[in-house]
Chain A
Amino acid sequence: MAKRRIQLIATLTLTGVLVGAVAGCQTVNTYEPNDPQAVVHTVNDKRVETDMSLINKAHMQSLITAHTPDGLLKVQAQLFNGTNKREKINYRFQWVDQDGMLIDTPLSTWKQVSLAGREKVMIQATAPSKNAVDFRLKLLEPKG
């Protein structure tokens, strides 16, 4: 009798976990032109990746730059969520002047972006000053 009860509880738990796992899955279908007309300036990036679980949740696929009409540097990064469920990612852009000094600005705060499963998302930032010649993008997994 006790053995049958344990089996029943185990079966119910497994079913619950499976239903929960399936319900947590949400992926996005994306469509875009096969031959994009945009002419982009892609940046060769240098990566320091210390959080391996984050790489799959927000894989940084490409970095492109442009300039505003006033000559301010603009950066756009393409992130890809390689998992099958929605993930939130914190990110922050920092700006560096021609002397390598970090530019202090209210624009450099942590922000959060939400990516559906298998979704590509663009995150953008504009430099706070014409002195900004370089940038740094940081990604951080949100708190549990």
Chain B
Amino acid sequence: MTKHTCKLFVTALAFGGLMLAGCESGNARRIDPAGTQTITSIKHLDIQDAADAAAAMSQSLLNSGRLGRHANAAGQTIVRPSIIAIDRYVNNTSQQIDRDEVLKKIRVTLNKAGVAQTLVTINDQGELGGESNIASKYAQQNTPADRSVQTPELLVVDYSLTFKIIENKGQAGKVRQTTFTFQMSLVDVKSGLAVWEDETQITKQGKHSSVGW
């Protein structure tokens, strides 16, 4: 191989390498969080995983037709947003996952669809003191200690929403696999019946994390 041919070969290799890299640089840049340029890791719950789980659960809830329709005292069906309280959240994974990574997206979707509203004055123990301090304080001040009279909000809770995440890991040689299972139940608080339940799974497999998918 002559010196000239060798130079040509190296230049072509370098050019090809640049083409393959797709002109990607290591500099920080903003990307669309709902797009396909996000990082896919094997062990962790990525933002697209949370979005996928929330979308699957929201669609299942919307398809069920359970929300937004209720029977009044006369037995007639009335159309109004269902009042939901967020119940127990169980995270059976090896990592800390904020429940709202998934739950908030479901709440937003149901709220925008006009089929459900979330009561924020009670906590996951069913006690006064939810995520809204001011509304919780108002509810406390207007509810006698013996609860003989309750604020209207406390009377109209239709459903509670329970949520659980489970993690399952596997490995074959250098290939690792993680499955996140999301389980959700909508419970009629008056009857105690789970009127809607669903489960969705996200499985990721590979040796290394990757950028884009």
Contacts and interface: CB of A to CB of B under 8 A. Distances in A.
A142 B62 contact: no
A111 interface: yes
B35 A106 contact: no
B184 to A, nearest CB: 15
Nearest to B37: A143
Interface in B88-141: 105, 108-109, 112-115
B213 A142 contact: yes
A15 interface: no
B213 A74 contact: no
Contacts of A83: none
A135 to B, nearest CB: 13
A105 B109 contact: yes
16 contacts: A68-B62, A68-B63, A69-B69, A70-B65, A70-B68, A74-B63, A105-B109, A106-B54, A106-B108, A106-B109, A107-B109, A112-B213, A124-B59, A128-B113, A142-B213, A143-B213
Given A142-B213, A143-B212, 9 more contacts: A72-B113, A106-B55, A106-B58, A106-B108, A109-B48, A110-B48, A124-B59, A128-B113, A142-B36
Interface of A: 68-70, 72, 74, 90, 105-112, 124-126, 128-130, 140, 142-143
Closest 5 CB pairs between A and B?
Answer: A69-B65, A143-B212, A109-B34, A106-B105, A126-B59
